[in-house]
Amino acid sequence: LPPGGAATAAAGWADHVNSEPLTAASRLAWGSNTKIFTAAAVLRAAEEGRLRLDDPVAQYVDPLLAACDPPLAAGSTLRELFGATHGVVTVRQLLGMRSGILDYESDGQGACGSSSHDLWWAAPHREWTPIEQLQWVSVQHGCVPTFTPDADCSYSSTNYLLLGLVLQQAYGLSCWQ
């Protein structure tokens, strides 16, 4: 390649069942592989002074929730979505899986009764926004936090979804940048 050049390649199947080949434009579910990148970006933002690890997450996320049009039925603050105790969760607690906020990928054993996978499989080509996923896992929809912040540790993809929104605000980015 010439200096500054780029190459793109793809191999395999985007959808093996339907024999759809993978292309450079195919979308893939990265799942939890992105958590390490998100954590590194949060720590860099803290190093740059854009946020503090002990900042309440609500100061970053609540403005995004309040700006939703139409307003969310489940609430427009983290306190309304997850209850008073969890409305004060910090960036550090999210990073350490110590928030107590239910994992949106819960297997249905919690109060929600099902996992977000049920939603995804019902509409596999629909893009669920982070805000929609937060609304789905909110207490108003029957999802109760698993413990008081810092009282325990439990894997939760919802924590990293929230950290993505924190980064969005800390860097002044629009959704999905």
**Rounded CA separation 176/144 (Å):** 28
- 32 CA to centre of own chain: 10
pTM of the model: 0.79
CATH of 34-170, one of 3.90.600.10, 3.40.710.10, 1.10.3720.10, 3.40.50.300: 3.40.710.10
Total count of residues recorded for the chain: 177
First-to-last alpha carbon distance for the chain, in angstroms, is: 28
pLDDT score recorded for residue 141: 61
Residue type, 143: C
Contact 154, 97 (CB under 8 A): yes
Q: What does DSSP say about strands 20-21 and 13-15: parallel, antiparallel, or unpaired?
A: antiparallel
In this prediction, residues 159-166 reach a mean pLDDT of 94
* 49-75 pLDDT, tens digit each: 999 999 999 999 999 888 877 777 777
Cβ atoms of 42 and 168 within 8 Å: the answer is no
pLDDT digits (tens, 9 = 90+) for 78-105: 888 888 888 899 999 999 999 998 887 7
**Close Cβ partners of 68 (under 8 Å, ≥ 6 residues apart):** 76, 131
Please write the tens of the pLDDT for every residue from 3-54: 888 899 999 998 888 899 999 988 777 778 889 999 999 999 999 999 999 9
Q: What is the pLDDT of residues 109-121, one digit of tens each?
A: 544 556 666 666 7
For the chain, domain boundaries = 34-170
| 8-state DSSP, 48 | T
